[in-house]
Amino acid sequence: MQGVSSLDELTAVRDKYLSRQRGVLALEMRKLGSLPSAERPAAGQLLNRLKGVVTEELERFQEELKSSANAVRLKTEFLDVSLPGFPYPEGKIHPIRRVWREMEEIFVRMGFSVETGPQIESDYYNFEALNIPKGHPARDDQDTLYISDNLVLRTHTSPVQIRTMEGKEPPIRIIAPGRVYRRDAVDATHSPMFHQIEGLVVDEGITMADLKGSLEAFFQQLFSPDTKIRMRPSYFPFVEPGAEVDVSCIFCSGKGCRVCKGSGWIEILGAGMVHPKVFSMVGYDPEKYTGFAWGMGIDRIAILKYQVEDLRLFFENDIRFLSQF
């Protein structure tokens, strides 16, 4: 096999001797027929032995070639597994969605379950069942986007309260996060689509102290353990009494700064004790059950948490802004 240094060359040698058509051995075999019959067996045996020897030798040589080729590859194809990987561009959770999840997780830890409802809602669920009958002035506060006379893009997450109570009996302890819509012009603090998390707790003996305690526990986990809340009387048709809830400013801890405009408090949500009329609408006995509810803006909390000055940044999908979260 001298002079053979590659598998290609080896194949050429194999063809030369062993090819069925043109190989030296094949040609010799064919000549056997013209030998005197007495000589044929011996000559045939000889040729077969020769074939065996050649085949064996070729195989042995092939193994040798392969292992030396492997040795060369092992030497040259060195893989450094300690090199850093390729920096593939990775997606991120949108900041609104991050805050949404964080809020949801806190409430779930507190024992709330998560409900959802349709974004296209009927007049009944969005208004009527929440004690906002036709002609009620509260309808004007919420610039509604109508789909038809009877269908609206929900203006708040409160209709999920009704859907939940219609579907089951107390005790109820739910949150309902989602998108809501209003006919608002876009500016730094307004968007025609934004997000809310509704809360609803109904059972026997629920009081306003439970409302305050739950919300305070929530904000202490979301912001910091020393966060306080305060409630101011307010009006929402579906609760009585109703309250506006403020949290102590998360930037100055209540001392007064630019964000809280020196007051030490930031207005953050609406809440109250579920109105007996709402209970009657869903067939709950208002003499037996009491409950509280709230509705808070996710976007507003994201703005505070991340100190983003302009709500529009969240919805313009500029990757330079979004990749910072």
DSSP assignment, residue 90?
-
Least distance to ligand DAH, CB of residue 156, Å:
3
DSSP assignment, residue 229?
E
293 binds ligand DAH per the rule CB under 6 A = yes
Question: Which residues 6+ apart lie within 8 Å of 301 measured at CB?
Answer: 99, 103, 222, 268
Least distance to ligand DAH, CB of residue 150, Å:
20
Stretch that binds ligand DAH, among 42-50, 92-100, 282-290, 292-300 (CB under 6 A): 292-300
Which residue lies nearer to ligand DAH by CB, 4 or 217?
217
Instruction: Output Rg (C-alpha) for the chain, integer angstroms.
Output: 41
Whether 244 and 231 have beta carbons less than 8 Å apart is answered as yes
117 binds ligand DAH per the rule CB under 6 A = no
271 binds ligand DAH per the rule CB under 6 A = yes
In the region spanning residues 236 to 265, those forming contacts with ligand DAH, defined by CB under 6 A, are: 236, 239, 242
Alpha helices (runs of H) in 77-133, residue ranges in sequence order = 95-109, 123-126
Per-residue string for binding with ligand DAH, 164-203, x by CB under 6 A?
----------------------------------x-----
Judged by CB under 6 A, the residue of 194, 272, 291, 308 near ligand DAH is 272
Q: What angle do CA 22, 28, 32 make, to 5 degrees?
A: 135
- Measured CA to CA, the distance from residue 135 to residue 36 in angstroms comes to 124
Which residue lies nearer to ligand DAH by CB, 156 or 173?
156
Q: Under DSSP, is residue 231 helix (H, G, I), strand (E, B) or coil?
A: strand
Stretch that binds ligand DAH, among 69-77, 118-126, 252-260, 290-298 (CB under 6 A): 290-298
Looking only at the bridges linking them, the beta strands covering 172-181 and 265-274 are unpaired
For residue 235, which of 165, 164, 136, 144 has the smallest C-alpha distance?
136
Which residue lies nearer to ligand DAH by CB, 239 or 268?
239
162 binds ligand DAH per the rule CB under 6 A = no
Which residue lies nearer to ligand DAH by CB, 10 or 211?
211
Q: Under DSSP, is residue 28 helix (H, G, I), strand (E, B) or coil?
A: helix
The DSSP line for 154-199 is: -SSSTHHHHHHHHH-PSPEEEEEEEEEE-----BTTB-SEEEEEEE
Look up residue 304 and give its two tokens: 């505070």
Judged by CB under 6 A, the residue of 270, 278, 304, 308 near ligand DAH is 270
219 binds ligand DAH per the rule CB under 6 A = no
Least distance to ligand DAH, CB of residue 273, Å:
8
294 binds ligand DAH per the rule CB under 6 A = yes
Which residue lies nearer to ligand DAH by CB, 235 or 251?
235
Number of Cβ within a 10 Å radius of residue 208? 15
Least distance to ligand DAH, CB of residue 169, Å:
20
107 binds ligand DAH per the rule CB under 6 A = no
- Measured CA to CA, the distance from residue 169 to residue 172 in angstroms comes to 7
Judged by CB under 6 A, the residue of 117, 159, 178, 295 near ligand DAH is 295
Look up residue 113 and give its two tokens: 């379950």
Residues forming contacts to ligand DAH in the complex (CB under 6 A) are 156, 158, 198, 236, 239, 242, 270-272, 293-295
